[in-house]
């Protein structure tokens, strides 16, 4: 980061130091001043005081090349932290879990396919009785998905391998031949308490309880199900019926389409301590038999972790089923692939070297910013590049801290809890994946902002100078136009939500309607869906929206 102080600040800094110490400078003090002058000599914002254009150009080039060393190391770390195999692993799990079809389980269907005209219908029209993850709509579908799809992938299509030098309990489980299953599959649900319905008195005799939307105030924390019976000895998974806090589960909050859910809830770790297909099936049957999922359930989360030793990637698969108070089940999923063990590959020395250089530059930038703040004080915030420098420095510091914490956790637990033999749910790996996600996000921000900052060294280019002057001159007009444009877009989004929201998914909320309007500007719109939602309001809305766009252009 280059300093924004002028040459006078260097002299003033020296003069202040000399006044503070009337004695002759010692050799240490002179070295200190030389270091300060060296850092401040990278100032490229002093055209007003620099009459020598050639000298200023040399100054810019010197600062530019030094800064490019910093940017180059950031890019190397960013690229080495990512894997080209991420997409293929995600695609593999999507094919086997999300797109895989399984037979529908229905009491009505099982009863009627035995009689005419449904006899042999399932054999004849098999595809009509098959659904995939995205088509799940009932509790029966969820249990069938767990038994069929999840069971086939994680417990029936594997190779058992046991180290003869250890006990059989430490056998490892291969998934899809290339993945190691870390821990067990966890099912976690969040529930709400039943409350009195606000309905007419004529309905109150038949309808006793209603279940509200999920919130921290209305979530259920009491035991439920067979655990509350006097005789619950036949229940093996007693923990599944008792509430666990977010600290106990080790899970983070999740924001879905229909609400935000914290990390607490009722947890069922399937096949815990005995990772066999028989135990997995028995646990599922027990939960289904005693109706672990019911009307009070607002969201179900299924978490599983795998590790691919061939590409050194941990995969965190999260399947979500949201159940809003209006009814229905809305599935979604999230697959994250992270390289937690970063220093065991062939490029580890390059990665370590680049990270050391980034730390060195960050320390130097901290020193420069401190000197700039001492010299300029509040004036430092008048230049936009100083703001970018400060943001860049903060992100660099956070990125270094996140990496150090991640290393400490891995080194302290790698040969303990974080093991391929673990037979309980591995919440430690999830915490590491969460920390790695933070590191990756900071790395992306640092890379983007550091590249944008290169424009600072292009001020001597005539084109850049003209663009900068044009923006500065019309900045006020741009702000006024932005306010007017946003106000009109909000009005159209509200109109689209009220007129089309009940039928068109793109306008179901004001936020989605706002995004749909921007997509309309780019020519990405579904006119048939708009017109079908409302034969009158749909075309009128589309015409007025396009009319606004044409007015804005011309």
Q: Domain boundary at 338, 373, 401, which?
A: 338
Rounded Cα gap, residues 335 and 91, in angstroms: 10
**Short-list 193, 192, 336, 320, CA closest to 256:** 320
Flag whether pLDDT at 115 surpasses 60: no
219's CB contacts (< 8 A; 6+ apart) are 190, 191, 192, 193, 262, 264
Full-model pTM: 0.79
Tell me what the mean pLDDT of segment 173-202 comes to.
Answer: 87
pLDDT digits (tens, 9 = 90+) for 43-56: 555 444 445 667 76
Instruction: Answer whether residue 112 is part of any domain.
Output: yes
The reply to whether 190 and 325 lie within a common domain is yes
CA–CA dist 81, 455 (Å, integer): 26
Residues 273 and 352 grouped into a single domain: no
Shortest CA distance to 194 belongs to which of 215, 177, 208? 208
Same domain, 243 and 382: no
In a domain, 95, yes or no: no
- Residue 506: per-residue pLDDT: 86
Is residue 249 a contact partner of residue 426, using CB atoms and an 8 Å limit?
Answer: no
What DSSP state is assigned to residue 293? Answer: S
Provide the number of structural domains found in the chain.
3
Angle between helix 7-20 and helix 348-376 axes, rounded to 10 deg: 70
Give the separation between CA 554 and CA 541, rounded to whole angstroms: 20
Measured in Å, how far apart are the chain's first and last C-alpha atoms? 42
User: 468, 489, 504 — which closes off a domain?
Assistant: 468
Which helix (DSSP H) or strand (DSSP E) does residue 287 occupy?
A: helix 277-289
Residue 163 shares a structural domain with residue 109: yes
Residue 88 lies in a domain: no
Cis bond upstream, residue 117 (ω within 30): yes
pLDDT in tens, 265-318: 999 999 888 888 888 999 999 999 999 999 999 999 999 999 998 888 999 999
pLDDT of residue 48: 43
Shared domain check, 334 and 350: no
Domain boundary among 291, 313, 338: 338
Residue-wise DSSP of 219-285 = B--S--GGGGSS--TT-S-GGGGSEE-HHHHTPPPEE-SS-EE-S-EEEEETTTT---HHHHHHHHH
- Is 501 inside any structural domain? yes
Query: Facing residues of 219 across strands?
Result: 192
Per the domain annotation, does 302 fall within a domain?
yes
Report the pLDDT value the prediction gives residue 487, as an integer from 0 to 100: 87
Percentage of residues of the chain with pLDDT beyond 70: 79
Which residues are CB-contacts of 104 (< 8 A; sequence separation ≥ 6)?
Answer: 129, 130, 131, 140, 141, 144
87 lies in a domain? Answer: no
Domain boundaries, position 545: 474-553
Residue 92: inside a domain, yes or no?
no
Residues 149 and 245 in one domain: yes
* 264 shares a domain with 209: yes
Shared domain check, 204 and 123: yes
* 383 and 328 within one domain: no
Q: Give the DSSP letter of residue 312.
A: T
């Amino acid at each position: 980061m280059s300093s924004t102080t002028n040459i006078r600040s260097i002299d003033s800094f020296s003069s202040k130091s000399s006044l503070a110490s009337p004695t002759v400078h010692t050799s240490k003090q002179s070295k200190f001043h030389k270091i300060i002058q060296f850092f401040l000599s990278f100032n490229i914002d002093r055209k007003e005081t620099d009459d020598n254009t050639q000298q200023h150009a040399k100054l810019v080039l010197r600062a530019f090349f030094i800064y490019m060393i910093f940017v180059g190391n950031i890019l190397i770390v960013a690229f080495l932290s990512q894997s080209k195999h991420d997409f293929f692993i995600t695609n593999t799990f999507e094919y086997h879990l999300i797109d895989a079809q399984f037979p529908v389980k229905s009491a009505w269907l099982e009863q009627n396919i035995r009689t005419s005209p449904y006899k042999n219908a399932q054999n004849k029209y098999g595809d009509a009785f098959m659904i995939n993850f995205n088509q799940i709509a009932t509790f029966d579908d969820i249990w069938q998905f767990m038994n069929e799809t999840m069971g086939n992938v994680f417990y029936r299509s594997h190779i058992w391998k046991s180290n003869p030098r250890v006990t059989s309990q430490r056998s490892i489980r291969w998934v899809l031949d290339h993945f190691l299953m870390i821990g067990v599959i966890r099912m976690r649900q969040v529930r709400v308490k039943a409350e009195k319905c606000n309905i007419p008195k004529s309905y109150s005799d038949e309808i006793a309880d209603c279940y509200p939307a999920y919130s921290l105030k209305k979530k259920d924390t009491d035991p439920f199900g067979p655990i509350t019976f006097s005789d619950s000895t036949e229940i093996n998974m007693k923990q599944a019926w008792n509430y666990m806090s977010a600290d106990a589960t080790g899970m983070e909050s999740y924001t879905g389409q229909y609400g935000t859910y914290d990390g607490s809830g009722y947890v069922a770790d399937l096949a815990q301590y005995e990772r066999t297909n028989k135990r997995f099936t028995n646990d599922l049957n027990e939960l289904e038999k005693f109706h672990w999922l019911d009307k009070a359930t607002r969201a179900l989360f299924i978490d599983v972790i795998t590790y691919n030793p061939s590409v050194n990637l941990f995969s965190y698969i999260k399947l979500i089923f949201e159940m809003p108070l209006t009814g229905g089940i809305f599935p979604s999923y999230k697959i994250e692939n992270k390289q937690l063990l970063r220093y065991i590959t062939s490029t580890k020395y390059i990665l370590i070297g680049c990270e050391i250089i980034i730390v060195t530059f960050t320390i130097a930038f901290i020193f420069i910013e401190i000197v700039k703040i001492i010299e300029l004080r509040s004036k430092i915030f008048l230049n936009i590049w100083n703001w970018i420098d400060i943001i860049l420095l903060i992100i660099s510091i956070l990125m270094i801290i996140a990496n150090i914490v991640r290393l400490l956790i891995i080194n302290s637990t790698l040969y303990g809890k974080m093991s391929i033999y673990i037979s309980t749910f591995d919440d430690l790996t999830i915490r590491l994946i969460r920390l790695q996600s933070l590191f990756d996000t900071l790395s992306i921000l640092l890379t983007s902002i550091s590249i944008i900052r290169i424009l600072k060294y292009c001020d001597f280019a005539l084109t850049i100078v003209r663009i900068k002057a044009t923006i500065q001159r019309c900045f006020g007009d741009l702000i006024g136009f932005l306010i007017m444009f946003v106000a009109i877009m909000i009005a159209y989004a509200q109109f689209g939500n009220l007129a089309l929201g009940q039928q068109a998914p793109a306008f179901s909320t004001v936020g989605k309607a706002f995004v749909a309007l921007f997509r309309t500007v780019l020519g990405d719109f579904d006119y048939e869906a708009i017109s079908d939602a409302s034969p009158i309001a749909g075309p009128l809305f589309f015409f007025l929206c396009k009319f606004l766009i044409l007015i804005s252009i011309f």
